[in-house]
Chain A
Amino acid sequence: MHELTITKNLISVLEKETVSHEIGKVKNVYLEVGKMRYIVPEIMNASFENMPKCEKLKGAKLKIKILPIMIQCVNCKKEFELDEYEDFCRSCNSKGNTCIISGDEFNLKGIEW
């Protein structure tokens, strides 16, 4: 359900970014979204298709890349890919000492026209 509000936010950003005369009718919009953001690409695509937007954005397709959850241990520097997020290092067993290097993104990468 949050796809609706997120798409609305995305359209506001895109409308600003496409004001320039050099940019024509947009064909593809590239997004990178972390797995932890629980985005359902199909719902996001449908929201984007059906929401009001400027002429340049009409007919554009969202290309959504879902990024895996990756953490790095601050202590031993090891990196891990996780199915379920945990703040725990499997290598040196330290707890609460990892940082997320991927998986929480919500990024608009670029547009193609």
Chain B
Amino acid sequence: MPFKVIKQNILKFNEDRADKIRRTLDKRGVFMVNIISSPGSGKTTLLEKVTPLLKSEEISFAILAGDCFTSNDAVRLDKAGAKVTQINTGNACHIDAQLIQKALKEVNIGELDFVIVENVGNMVCPAEFDLGEDCKIALLSVPEGHDKPLKYPLLFKESELVIINKLDLLKQTDFDLEQCEKNIFKVNPKVCILKMSCRNGRGINAFVKWIKERISNKNKSFDLATS
């Protein structure tokens, strides 16, 4: 039988689009993160808590909130005072670069310092799709168990920051915090870990500080590139 050698990445179309997004954001010095976690781990609550703090720091930001069908999260974030664009993925369990391209057209990126993508709740599929972000953030909550980093290594390997949320529930569960950190470092020894409880506020300020530093680093490289 005749054979044709192709040798191409199956996700090339997505990756080409993601590169385009990255170049657009780099040109304007906009920092973008892609937050990935299981459903119910606290992504939206975290963003609700962070919104007023970012506003008081005069950081101009937009949230692109992914959800299969509803706009529940976008409504919550809108109430909290954030600029939100809803991305409904329908049957898809993740956001891809094409959806981000579309959503970015609805926000004026020239006015922004920062874009937050709240991905669809899922630890497997979203990790596969590059969205053109500067970095991925993995969010893991105490009730999910400390073995998650080993079960979903791709997400934890690709993330620059891991947030362990719902620490207020430590006493009610068998979650082993030390073992969890060991598991995270096993797949990604260089990652930064932030311990958090959106309920009692622990770690929220540290997260805002991390965001501010990353925005300022991006601005610096942007200034260097344009000067």
Chain A residues close to B by CB (< 8 Å): 1-2, 4-6, 9-10, 12-13, 17, 22-24, 27-28, 31, 36-38, 84-88, 95-96, 104, 106-113
Contacts and interface: CB of A to CB of B under 8 A. Distances in A.
A85 B153 contact: yes
A9 B93 contact: no
Nearest to A26: B4
B10 A9 contact: yes
Interface of B: 1-14, 91-94, 96, 122, 124-125, 128-129, 150, 153-154, 157, 185-190
A108 B128 contact: no
B9 A107 contact: yes
Given A2-B128, A113-B2, A85 B12 contact: no
A65 B193 CA distance: 35
Contact of B189 (A4, A17, A88): A88
A56 to B, nearest CB: 12
A95 B189 contact: yes
A87 B157 contact: yes
Given A2-B124, A5-B92, A95-B189, A108 B154 contact: no
A40 B17 CA distance: 25
A9 B6 contact: no
A96 B187 CA distance: 8
A98 to B, nearest CB: 10
B9 A106 contact: yes
B157 A85 contact: yes
B13 A107 contact: no
A113 to B, nearest CB: 6
B188 A87 contact: yes
B6 A109 contact: yes
A27 B1 contact: yes
A36 B46 CA distance: 29
Contacts of B128: 2, 6, 37, 106
7 contacts: A2-B128, A5-B94, A9-B10, A38-B124, A84-B153, A110-B3, A113-B2
B158 to A, nearest CB: 10
Contact of B186 (A1, A2, A87, A109): A87
A5 B96 contact: yes
A113 B188 CA distance: 43
Contact of A23 (B4, B8, B188, B190): B4
Contacts of B13: 9, 12-13
